[in-house]
Amino acid sequence: MTTGRHTATELDPSLDDYQLASALVREAGQLALLMRMGGLQGERKTSVSDVVTAADHAAEAYVLDQLRRCRPDDGILGEEGTSVAGTSDRTWVIDPVDGTYNFLHGSTYWCSAIALKRDDSIHGGTSVADPDVLLGAIYQPELDKLWLGGEGRPATLNGESITGFGDLPVSQISAATYIHPTWLADPRAAMPWHAAAVSAASLRMFGSGSCDLGRVADGELGCWFQHSCPEWDWLPGKAIVRAAGGDTAVVQVNGLNWFVAGGPTAVLELSAALASVPQFA
Protein backbone atom coordinates (compact mmCIF):
# COMPACT_ATOMS: atom_id res chain seq x y z
CA MET A 1 0.00 0.00 0.00
CA THR A 2 1.35 3.44 -0.94
CA THR A 3 0.41 6.39 1.28
CA GLY A 4 1.74 9.65 -0.10
CA ARG A 5 5.49 9.10 -0.58
CA HIS A 6 5.62 6.10 1.78
CA THR A 7 4.98 2.43 1.14
CA ALA A 8 3.52 0.44 4.02
CA THR A 9 3.32 -3.34 4.36
CA GLU A 10 0.35 -5.37 3.15
CA LEU A 11 -0.45 -7.66 6.07
CA ASP A 12 -1.31 -11.35 5.92
CA PRO A 13 -4.98 -12.06 6.79
CA SER A 14 -3.91 -15.36 8.42
CA LEU A 15 -2.23 -13.47 11.30
CA ASP A 16 -4.04 -14.01 14.60
CA ASP A 17 -5.60 -10.98 16.30
CA TYR A 18 -2.58 -10.28 18.51
CA GLN A 19 -0.14 -10.57 15.62
CA LEU A 20 -2.34 -8.34 13.49
CA ALA A 21 -2.70 -5.69 16.19
CA SER A 22 1.06 -5.66 16.78
CA ALA A 23 1.80 -5.31 13.07
CA LEU A 24 -0.80 -2.56 12.62
CA VAL A 25 0.50 -0.30 15.38
CA ARG A 26 4.11 -0.87 14.39
CA GLU A 27 3.46 -0.05 10.73
CA ALA A 28 1.20 2.93 11.54
CA GLY A 29 3.73 4.36 13.98
CA GLN A 30 6.61 3.99 11.56
CA LEU A 31 4.56 5.56 8.77
CA ALA A 32 3.73 8.57 10.95
CA LEU A 33 7.37 8.95 12.00
CA LEU A 34 8.57 8.88 8.38
CA MET A 35 6.03 11.51 7.44
CA ARG A 36 7.10 13.75 10.32
CA MET A 37 10.70 13.53 9.14
CA GLY A 38 9.51 14.89 5.80
CA GLY A 39 7.87 17.92 7.44
CA LEU A 40 4.30 18.35 8.71
CA GLN A 41 1.92 21.12 9.68
CA GLY A 42 -0.72 20.74 12.36
CA GLU A 43 -4.39 21.61 11.96
CA ARG A 44 -6.23 22.84 15.03
CA LYS A 45 -9.22 20.76 16.14
CA THR A 46 -10.79 21.94 19.42
CA SER A 47 -7.86 23.90 20.87
CA VAL A 48 -4.25 24.90 20.26
CA SER A 49 -3.12 21.67 21.95
CA ASP A 50 -5.68 19.45 20.17
CA VAL A 51 -4.27 19.11 16.68
CA VAL A 52 -4.26 16.72 13.74
CA THR A 53 -1.70 16.20 10.98
CA ALA A 54 -1.55 14.48 7.61
CA ALA A 55 0.31 11.67 9.40
CA ASP A 56 -2.71 11.00 11.64
CA HIS A 57 -4.93 10.68 8.58
CA ALA A 58 -2.45 8.58 6.60
CA ALA A 59 -1.80 6.18 9.48
CA GLU A 60 -5.52 5.72 10.10
CA ALA A 61 -6.14 5.15 6.38
CA TYR A 62 -3.46 2.47 6.36
CA VAL A 63 -4.94 0.65 9.36
CA LEU A 64 -8.44 0.92 7.88
CA ASP A 65 -7.28 -0.57 4.59
CA GLN A 66 -5.51 -3.48 6.28
CA LEU A 67 -8.42 -4.27 8.59
CA ARG A 68 -10.91 -4.27 5.73
CA ARG A 69 -8.67 -6.79 3.96
CA CYS A 70 -7.78 -8.92 6.98
CA ARG A 71 -10.95 -8.72 9.09
CA PRO A 72 -13.77 -7.82 6.68
CA ASP A 73 -16.55 -8.81 9.09
CA ASP A 74 -15.39 -6.61 11.98
CA GLY A 75 -16.38 -3.03 12.67
CA ILE A 76 -13.79 -0.24 12.74
CA LEU A 77 -13.80 3.04 14.69
CA GLY A 78 -11.03 5.62 14.35
CA GLU A 79 -10.18 8.92 16.01
CA GLU A 80 -9.89 10.72 12.67
CA GLY A 81 -13.36 9.83 11.46
CA THR A 82 -13.32 6.17 10.43
CA SER A 83 -16.61 4.44 11.19
CA VAL A 84 -17.34 1.05 9.62
CA ALA A 85 -20.21 -1.14 10.78
CA GLY A 86 -19.31 -4.80 10.95
CA THR A 87 -21.38 -7.96 10.82
CA SER A 88 -19.47 -9.67 13.64
CA ASP A 89 -19.75 -8.77 17.32
CA ARG A 90 -16.31 -7.07 17.32
CA THR A 91 -14.97 -3.60 16.56
CA TRP A 92 -11.38 -2.42 16.15
CA VAL A 93 -10.74 0.96 17.77
CA ILE A 94 -7.88 2.94 16.19
CA ASP A 95 -5.75 5.80 17.52
CA PRO A 96 -3.22 6.38 14.72
CA VAL A 97 -1.18 8.98 16.61
CA ASP A 98 -1.90 9.41 20.32
CA GLY A 99 -0.14 12.50 21.63
CA THR A 100 -0.26 14.47 18.36
CA TYR A 101 0.79 17.72 20.05
CA ASN A 102 3.92 15.95 21.31
CA PHE A 103 4.43 14.30 17.91
CA LEU A 104 4.19 17.60 16.04
CA HIS A 105 6.65 19.33 18.37
CA GLY A 106 9.39 16.72 18.20
CA SER A 107 8.79 14.83 21.45
CA THR A 108 9.23 11.06 21.51
CA TYR A 109 6.22 10.67 23.84
CA TRP A 110 3.57 9.62 21.34
CA CYS A 111 2.36 6.30 20.00
CA SER A 112 0.02 4.39 17.74
CA ALA A 113 -2.61 2.33 19.54
CA ILE A 114 -5.38 -0.11 18.73
CA ALA A 115 -7.95 -2.12 20.66
CA LEU A 116 -10.41 -4.85 19.77
CA LYS A 117 -13.67 -4.61 21.70
CA ARG A 118 -16.91 -6.55 21.95
CA ASP A 119 -19.87 -4.66 20.55
CA ASP A 120 -22.28 -3.59 23.29
CA SER A 121 -25.27 -4.29 21.06
CA ILE A 122 -24.35 -7.99 21.10
CA HIS A 123 -23.04 -8.39 24.63
CA GLY A 124 -25.46 -6.57 26.92
CA GLY A 125 -24.64 -5.46 30.42
CA THR A 126 -21.38 -3.59 29.76
CA SER A 127 -21.12 0.10 30.47
CA VAL A 128 -21.44 2.37 27.45
CA ALA A 129 -18.48 4.33 28.86
CA ASP A 130 -16.40 1.20 29.47
CA PRO A 131 -17.13 -1.65 27.04
CA ASP A 132 -15.50 -5.07 27.16
CA VAL A 133 -12.11 -5.04 25.47
CA LEU A 134 -10.50 -8.18 24.06
CA LEU A 135 -6.98 -6.90 23.40
CA GLY A 136 -4.83 -3.81 23.13
CA ALA A 137 -1.58 -2.91 21.39
CA ILE A 138 0.47 0.27 21.87
CA TYR A 139 3.63 1.14 19.96
CA GLN A 140 5.96 4.04 20.76
CA PRO A 141 8.10 4.24 17.59
CA GLU A 142 10.99 6.44 18.66
CA LEU A 143 11.70 4.24 21.69
CA ASP A 144 10.72 1.03 19.87
CA LYS A 145 8.40 -0.03 22.70
CA LEU A 146 5.46 -2.29 21.93
CA TRP A 147 3.01 -3.21 24.70
CA LEU A 148 0.52 -5.99 24.02
CA GLY A 149 -2.07 -7.84 26.06
CA GLY A 150 -5.68 -8.86 26.42
CA GLU A 151 -8.18 -11.36 27.72
CA GLY A 152 -6.41 -14.31 26.17
CA ARG A 153 -2.80 -13.23 26.61
CA PRO A 154 -0.71 -11.87 29.52
CA ALA A 155 0.78 -8.44 28.94
CA THR A 156 4.18 -8.07 27.30
CA LEU A 157 6.61 -5.30 26.47
CA ASN A 158 8.63 -6.09 23.33
CA GLY A 159 7.70 -9.74 23.75
CA GLU A 160 8.85 -10.01 27.36
CA SER A 161 6.29 -10.65 30.10
CA ILE A 162 5.42 -7.68 32.28
CA THR A 163 5.72 -8.91 35.86
CA GLY A 164 5.77 -7.45 39.33
CA PHE A 165 2.70 -5.22 39.04
CA GLY A 166 2.64 -3.49 42.42
CA ASP A 167 -0.39 -2.94 44.66
CA LEU A 168 0.65 0.06 46.72
CA PRO A 169 -1.51 2.91 48.02
CA VAL A 170 -1.66 6.07 45.91
CA SER A 171 0.28 7.96 48.58
CA GLN A 172 3.34 5.84 47.79
CA ILE A 173 3.30 5.92 43.97
CA SER A 174 3.30 8.33 41.03
CA ALA A 175 0.04 9.19 39.30
CA ALA A 176 0.00 10.03 35.60
CA THR A 177 -2.86 12.26 34.51
CA TYR A 178 -4.02 14.85 32.03
CA ILE A 179 -6.45 17.74 32.26
CA HIS A 180 -6.77 20.55 29.75
CA PRO A 181 -6.11 23.95 31.40
CA THR A 182 -9.61 25.20 30.55
CA TRP A 183 -11.12 22.42 32.68
CA LEU A 184 -9.24 23.72 35.73
CA ALA A 185 -11.59 26.72 35.65
CA ASP A 186 -14.63 24.42 35.84
CA PRO A 187 -15.26 23.06 39.35
CA ARG A 188 -17.06 20.01 37.94
CA ALA A 189 -13.69 18.75 36.74
CA ALA A 190 -11.23 20.77 38.80
CA MET A 191 -12.50 19.62 42.20
CA PRO A 192 -12.36 15.85 41.60
CA TRP A 193 -9.07 16.19 39.71
CA HIS A 194 -7.52 18.10 42.64
CA ALA A 195 -8.84 15.57 45.16
CA ALA A 196 -7.24 12.71 43.26
CA ALA A 197 -4.04 14.60 42.45
CA VAL A 198 -3.21 15.54 46.03
CA SER A 199 -3.55 11.91 47.13
CA ALA A 200 -0.53 10.81 45.04
CA ALA A 201 3.14 10.74 45.98
CA SER A 202 3.96 12.62 42.76
CA LEU A 203 2.27 13.64 39.52
CA ARG A 204 3.27 13.07 35.90
CA MET A 205 1.60 14.77 32.90
CA PHE A 206 3.15 13.75 29.59
CA GLY A 207 0.34 14.14 27.04
CA SER A 208 -0.27 10.61 25.73
CA GLY A 209 -2.71 8.49 27.66
CA SER A 210 -1.81 5.27 25.86
CA CYS A 211 1.92 5.78 26.50
CA ASP A 212 1.03 6.44 30.14
CA LEU A 213 -1.10 3.29 30.43
CA GLY A 214 1.61 1.13 28.91
CA ARG A 215 3.93 2.40 31.61
CA VAL A 216 1.36 1.73 34.32
CA ALA A 217 1.20 -1.85 33.04
CA ASP A 218 4.99 -2.29 33.17
CA GLY A 219 5.40 -0.52 36.51
CA GLU A 220 7.26 2.60 35.36
CA LEU A 221 4.24 4.67 36.45
CA GLY A 222 2.13 3.85 39.49
CA CYS A 223 -1.41 4.71 38.39
CA TRP A 224 -3.38 6.92 36.01
CA PHE A 225 -6.57 8.96 35.89
CA GLN A 226 -8.26 11.24 33.34
CA HIS A 227 -11.79 12.35 32.53
CA SER A 228 -13.87 12.12 29.36
CA CYS A 229 -11.64 9.69 27.45
CA PRO A 230 -12.87 8.51 24.06
CA GLU A 231 -12.57 4.79 23.47
CA TRP A 232 -9.38 5.08 21.42
CA ASP A 233 -7.60 6.80 24.32
CA TRP A 234 -8.77 4.24 26.89
CA LEU A 235 -9.37 0.77 25.54
CA PRO A 236 -5.86 -0.13 24.26
CA GLY A 237 -4.28 0.72 27.61
CA LYS A 238 -7.15 -0.74 29.63
CA ALA A 239 -6.65 -4.13 27.98
CA ILE A 240 -2.91 -4.12 28.65
CA VAL A 241 -3.15 -2.93 32.26
CA ARG A 242 -5.68 -5.65 33.05
CA ALA A 243 -3.59 -8.27 31.24
CA ALA A 244 -0.65 -7.21 33.43
CA GLY A 245 -2.65 -7.91 36.60
CA GLY A 246 -3.84 -4.38 37.23
CA ASP A 247 -7.31 -2.99 37.69
CA THR A 248 -9.40 -0.32 35.94
CA ALA A 249 -12.54 1.63 36.74
CA VAL A 250 -14.82 4.35 35.41
CA VAL A 251 -16.26 6.75 37.99
CA GLN A 252 -18.94 9.32 37.19
CA VAL A 253 -18.65 12.60 39.10
CA ASN A 254 -20.71 15.70 38.28
CA GLY A 255 -21.72 14.26 34.93
CA LEU A 256 -18.14 13.51 33.84
CA ASN A 257 -16.69 10.02 33.49
CA TRP A 258 -13.26 9.56 35.08
CA PHE A 259 -11.11 6.69 33.86
CA VAL A 260 -8.74 5.10 36.37
CA ALA A 261 -6.03 2.43 36.08
CA GLY A 262 -3.41 0.92 38.37
CA GLY A 263 -3.13 -1.66 41.10
CA PRO A 264 -6.38 -2.62 42.85
CA THR A 265 -5.63 -0.51 45.94
CA ALA A 266 -4.70 2.57 43.91
CA VAL A 267 -7.82 2.25 41.73
CA LEU A 268 -10.04 2.03 44.80
CA GLU A 269 -8.36 5.01 46.45
CA LEU A 270 -8.40 7.19 43.33
CA SER A 271 -12.04 6.32 42.69
CA ALA A 272 -12.94 7.27 46.27
CA ALA A 273 -10.99 10.55 46.04
CA LEU A 274 -12.68 11.53 42.79
CA ALA A 275 -16.12 10.82 44.24
CA SER A 276 -15.43 12.59 47.53
CA VAL A 277 -16.10 16.13 46.25
CA PRO A 278 -19.44 17.98 46.43
CA GLN A 279 -21.89 16.96 43.73
CA PHE A 280 -23.45 19.60 41.49
CA ALA A 281 -27.12 19.38 40.58
Amino acid letter, 278: P
218 belongs to an annotated ligand binding site = no
233 is in an annotated binding site: yes
For each of the domains in the chain, give its residue range(s) and CATH number, in order of start.
17-161 (3.30.540.10), 170-275 (3.40.190.80)
pLDDT at 3 over 80: no
CB 149 within 8 A of CB 136: yes
Average pLDDT for 125-134: 74
Q: What is the mean pLDDT of residues 68-74?
A: 98
Instruction: Tell which residue, 109, 87, 96, 62, has the closest CA to residue 206.
Output: 109
Per the rule left: phi > 0, alpha: psi between -120 and 50, beta: everything else, 262 is left
Say if residue 10 carries a ligand binding annotation.
no
Please report, in angstroms and rounded to a whole number, the separation of the first and last CA atoms in the chain: 53
Chain centroid to CA 198: how far? 24
43: confidence class by pLDDT, cuts 50, 70, 90: low
Greater confidence (45 vs 129) lies with 129
Cα separation, 144 vs 111, in Å, equals: 10
Task: Note the pLDDT tens digit of each residue in 204-246.
Answer: 999 999 999 999 999 999 999 999 999 999 999 999 999 999 9
Nearest CA-CA partner of 276 in 201, 200, 161, 196: 196
| Across 131-158, average pLDDT | 96
Sequence-ordered strand ranges (E) for 82-184: 83-84, 90-98, 111-118, 133-140, 145-150, 153-157, 160-161, 174-178
Query: What's at 40, amino acid-wise?
Result: L
pLDDT of residue 131: 86
Per-residue confidence band for 35, with pLDDT thresholds at 50, 70 and 90: confident
Is 98 part of any known ligand binding site?
yes
